[in-house]
Amino acid sequence: MDKERKLIIAGNWKTNKTVAEALDLVTALRRELADVKAVDVVVCPPFTALESVSKAILDSNIRLGAQNMSENGYGAFTGEIAAGMLKEFSVGYVILGHSERRQYQKETDALVAKKAAAAHAANLIPIVCVGETLMEREAAITEEVVETQLRGSLAGLTSDQVEKTVLAYEPVWAIGTGKTASSAQAQEVHAFIRKVLSSMHGDTTARRVRIQYGGSVKANNARELMGQPDVDGALVGGASLELRGFTDIVKNSI
Ligand code: PGA
């Protein structure tokens, strides 16, 4: 597939896997995906498995991501993980503002923007998630919702930082439900996101930003989704927990 942006496919393991299970999976992924060069492959295990997974993917083509981080650095912030701590394990990416954190931890756009700035300051690439709920889609306010999230979650970043940021469009109604947005629905919102980015930071920046789709991505819908002009990868939850599920998504996307 010929695109000006390199595809990036990330597995979000959420709160799953013991260290032993994480090691099993990533060791097998390393073997199965050793020849993949056309796609950036990222795994995002829970914090507790970062160190082991980091060692297991040393000198491979698999990159490491975390699922969240603090907007603050080191200090008196009980229970938080600072960017510097992630860097110790060669983490390169961090998912920010996932809809589950927006829902359960009440994360706001303003907080996500602070985290994104802290990630960039530490040379971590944030994967910033946006997406509408089913009620919002049915009320036909998807674009307003996504635009507000985008402008709020990227507030204060420079064009250079935005260009390096990965965005993930994840309609909340498609996450873990088995309901995928059709490729046309995904493309429509991705094109809209690029239009908003362009009005915020100009065409060149907007053209360079990679926008992943997330929400029930599976091996059998990956090819069509990745074939859309503004879909530059996937953020995969459930299917990334199994070797075959994830490797087939990657292979079917090339
Ligand atoms: P899912 O999750 O693939 O299980 O729908 C996607 C996500 O939450 O990132």
pLDDT for 178 beyond 90: no
Residue 102 CA to ligand 1 centre (angstroms): 14
Whose C-alpha lies nearest to ligand 1, atom 6? 237
Q: Which atom of ligand 1 is nearest to the CA of 217?
A: 3
Q: What are phi and psi of 53, to 5 degrees?
A: -65, -40
Residue 216 beta carbon below 6 angstroms from any ligand 1 atom: yes
Residue-wise pLDDT for 194-241, tens only, equals 999 999 999 999 999 999 999 999 999 999 999 999 999 999 999 999
3-state helix, strand, coil in the chain (%, to 5): 50, 15, 35
Residue 75 CA to ligand 1 centre (angstroms): 32
Sign of CA dihedral 211, 216, 218, 223: negative
Domains present along the chain, CATH in parentheses? 7-253 (3.20.20.70)
H or E element: which one contains 48? none
Q: Which residues pair with 235 in a beta bridge?
A: 10, 214
Residue 251 CA to ligand 1 centre (angstroms): 18
| Strand residue runs (E) in the chain | 7-12, 39-44, 62-66, 93-96, 125-130, 166-169, 210-214, 233-236
pLDDT of residue 3: 74
Averaged pLDDT of the chain: 97
Q: Probe ligand 1: pick from 217, 241, 248, max atoms within 8 Å of CB?
A: 217
Q: Which atom of ligand 1 is nearest to the CA of 12?
A: 9
Give the tokens for residue 38: 């056309």
Q: Would the pTM count as exceeding 0.85? A: yes
| Residue whose C-alpha is closest to residue 148's, from 135, 136, 159, 160 | 136
Residue 152 CA to ligand 1 centre (angstroms): 22
pLDDT of residue 159: 98
Residue 253 beta carbon below 6 angstroms from any ligand 1 atom: no
